[in-house]
Amino acid sequence: MQEKLLQRFLRYVAVPSQSNAANANVPSSEGQRKLAELLKQDLAELGLVDLEISEYSVLTGKLPAYLPEGCTKEVPAVGWCAHLDTIDINMSPEIHPQVVKNYQGGDVCLNKEKDIWIRTAEHPELEKYVGEDIVFTDGTSVLGADNKAAIANIMVALETIVNEKRCHGDIYVAFVPDEEIGLRGSKKMDFSKFPVKFAYTIDCCELGEVVYQTFNAGTAIVKIKGVSAHPMSAKGVLINPTLLAVDLVNMFDRTQTPECTEGTEGYIWVKSIVSNDTYATVTLDIRDHNKKRYEERKAEIAANAEKLQAMYPRAEVTCTMSDTYGNINDAVTEDNKYCIDYLYTAMEKLGIKPITLAMRGGTDGSFISTKGILTPNYFTAGHNFHSNCEFLPLGAMEKSCKLTLELVDLIYNK
């Protein structure tokens, strides 16, 4: 299985599919559509039906149920979702992976020419995988295990199910673009093409990780129009929008920021201040696991914008807010939480120790869950996402794929 996973992974990372936050279109890059087209071909070869790539490059399809002759049991339809894009961290969009066979510990030279290393002093997690084959970058890009390890996982699992004629209900897949820039692709899903009882994403890291708590997330944009004037006649006339933006930022608690919080503690993050003589725009990210606190943070931003307007009545201050995604946990009910229980049951059967995380971020499942489809998340086995030190141990990746197969078996045998 490891060799199959590796070959699939290398096949998919060979297609550059970095998303582009500066492009408002979905998909934001042509490579994501090319990857969707490649996956559509691969899925067709496996016998999936109703394959469709939407105008937004959302690829959906179904593996029809395979049940014993005369079987009348109801098996719920289940879905898996993965994203097509890789993150843009101002490195090369081209990925050149390398495989270190039978890793023996110690530092690894990623790029001899550029003298790029991954050091165990900085990444002690490497030492957990002595004796394993590990996929690394060449130091000039991310690896793309986020999320192409998930794509390979799903494809190998489907191939195994088909070849071994495993019994299962309807299995749906959705491969979506632009997850890394605000879950844009999942927000463009046609859910009539994904009619599942529940679903899973495979979009976190270390072996054993389980996520069904994510941030509630939103963005606030405060726009300030000042009054411009020449310095020689500015007294009593000039309203400097840049200084107003600074005044606004200083109204917030500096301990309620990403660098000062952890775990389930939320924050307001001043992402940018863009200004000139007349206008300033302040962009803020709002995050909190607790829905009530999240709404309170939004209210705080609105109140501070109003306060700024009152302080400078000759300026024009406007504040707009939008929600990006929700906390998966807010969608959990007594009637659907069994799909999370399946994860722990499957891990126990496979001898995998669960690591339950409250993710300080979100997944496509954070949006899909708001649509009434509970979508928890489990590990790819990759490490150091969004970094040129990203790496993927193949033994742990194999366990993630076996977890996918075990979930299919549990759902059929429930």
- Supply the residues annotated as catalytic: 85, 179
Residue 14, SS3? coil
- Of 25, 81, 34, the residue nearest 53 (C-alpha): 34
Residue 346, SS3? helix
Radius of gyration of the chain (CA): 24
Phi, psi of 396 (to 5 degrees): -70, -35
Residue 156, SS3? helix
Angle between helices 291-311 and 241-250 (to 10 degrees): 140
State the amino acid at position 20 in one-letter form.
N
d(CA 100, CA 168): 36
**Long-range contact list for 310-318, CB < 8 A, 24+ apart?**
311/247, 312/239, 312/244, 314/227, 314/239, 315/224, 315/225, 315/226, 315/227, 315/239, 315/241, 315/244, 316/223, 316/224, 316/225, 317/222, 317/223, 317/224, 317/225, 317/244, 318/222, 318/223
Residue with tokens 């302040």: 282
Q: What is the DSSP letter of 86?
A: B
Task: Locate 76 and state its tokens.
Answer: 């719920």
**Cα of 3 vs its chain's centroid, Å:** 26
Enumerate the β-bridge partners of residue 133: none
Q: Which residues contact 8 (CB under 8 A, 6 or more apart)?
A: 151, 152, 155, 156
CB 310 within 8 A of CB 273: no
